[in-house]
Amino acid sequence: MNAVFSIGSMAIRRNAPRFGAIDRLAPHSRLAGPMPWVIAIMIALTVIAAGAGLALRNLGTNAGAEIAGGLTVQILEGAPAARERQAQAAVAHLRTRQDVAEVIRVPEKDLEALLEPWLGRQMLTGDAAIPVPALIDVRLQGPVTERRLEELRASLKALVPSARIDAQAGWLGPVFDALASLQWLALGLVALLAAASAAAVWLAARSALGGNRETIEIIHLLGATDRQIARLFERSIAFDAAIGGLAGLLLGAGALWLLGSQFARLGSGMVTGGALGPADWALLVAIPIAGVMLATLTARLTVIGALRRML
């Protein structure tokens, strides 16, 4: 009879439980359950929001760098000959300055081509043509500051009284402010979606706890630690989160790729400056990984919190 108890040499650990085989206790997740799909939707929305935020950041950075040192000089002279003379004088003066990196006179043909759709051909040629200012695109060494702008304005006005100088960044200031606001909005959305995901996981863990209360009580009374029991749920929810996260990533990345293709077709230099780079995509791929970690941590805290109410 004692042969039945021939387990005396077994390495029963009274104080240092391992978690390996007990994990098979967990009623494993099924894709039929709502949890993976809820997580997939949350991750997809997070990926889209984060992708939009990153694109806006890239757009702002690229456009900002492009126009940081940019100035536009307009020669506001009605008489064509005087305008041409003053424009040449302004170009010559600007090219002599050490702080100017590049000076490009915008050809009149280009200006007419830009204005023709709006004003019509007859308004730009002949005697009835309206005067169009001469434009000079200037790029300074380093960014434009108010002090530099004032100093340049004074020196140019002394030579060409009809010259008007504007910093390109000034025109686009409101656009950059709007871009910054949209980036904050995207960040807020990501935070809200993370909180909503955690709440969904909390509800799922609570529901799983309720559905498995009997099993939990049994293994609790058999000596399982809170950590062992929590691990059962962590595994189950991590599996759901991984499946949902992968589906959400594919969905979100697909949506971003489609949007990117649509914007790329616009052919606008500013918009294409918002394209996502490899580092951005790596960050987006990290979202479902962070989602799995968040879900696992939420499940652990929820289950351990509930278990602490038991003896």
Partner 1 sequence: MTGEGGHIVQFDNVGLRYGTDREVLSDVSFTLFPGSFYFLTGASGAGKTSLLRLLYLAQRPSRGVIRMFGTDVITVPRARLPAFRRRIGVVFQDFRLVPHLSAFDNVALPLRVSGVPEGEIRKPVADMLTWVGLDQRADARPATLSGGEQQRVAIARAVIARPEILVADEPTGNVDPEMAVKLLRLFEALNRLGTTVVVATHDVHLLRKVSDSLIMRLDRGRLSDPTGALRYPPRPEVAAR
17 binds partner 1 (CB under 8 A): yes
How many residues appear in the chain? 311
Find the DSSP H helices in 3-97.
35-67, 80-96
Which residue in the set 8, 117, 126, 278 belongs to the binding site for partner 1 (CB under 8 A)?
A: 8
- Contact between 72 and 137 under an 8 Å Cβ cutoff? The reply is yes
The first and second tokens of residue 46, run together, are: 């997070």
CB of 26 to partner 1, least distance (A): 9
301 binds partner 1 (CB under 8 A): no
Provide CB contacts within 8 A for 39, sequence distance 6+.
197, 200, 201, 240, 241, 243, 244, 245, 248, 291, 295
81 binds partner 1 (CB under 8 A): no
Which residue in the set 54, 63, 204, 224 belongs to the binding site for partner 1 (CB under 8 A)?
A: 224
Which residue in the set 7, 130, 279, 282 belongs to the binding site for partner 1 (CB under 8 A)?
A: 7
Closer by beta carbon to partner 1, 1 or else 128? 1
CB of 3 to partner 1, least distance (A): 7
Other Cβ atoms within 10 Å of 29 Cβ, number: 21
Integer angstrom CA distances of residue 153 from 74, 134, 161, 202, 225: 11, 16, 10, 63, 76
Which residue in the set 89, 219, 251, 283 belongs to the binding site for partner 1 (CB under 8 A)?
A: 219
Measured between alpha carbons, how far is 169 from 64 in angstroms, rounded to an integer? 7
Give the interface size with partner 1 as a residue count (CB under 8 A): 39
CB of 302 to partner 1, least distance (A): 18
CB of 210 to partner 1, least distance (A): 15
CB of 209 to partner 1, least distance (A): 15
Which residue in the set 124, 225, 281, 290 belongs to the binding site for partner 1 (CB under 8 A)?
A: 225
Q: What is the CA radius of gyration of the chain?
A: 33
Which of 242, 295, 251 lies closest to 51, judged by CA? 251
75 three-class SS: strand
309 binds partner 1 (CB under 8 A): no
Closer by beta carbon to partner 1, 108 or else 226? 226
Element (H, E) at 287: helix 278-307
Closer by beta carbon to partner 1, 27 or else 277? 27
Closer by beta carbon to partner 1, 50 or else 307? 307
Residues 23-42 close enough to bind partner 1 by CB under 8 A: 24-25, 27
Residue ranges binding partner 1 (CB under 8 A)? 1-8, 10-22, 24-25, 27, 214-215, 217-226, 228, 308, 311
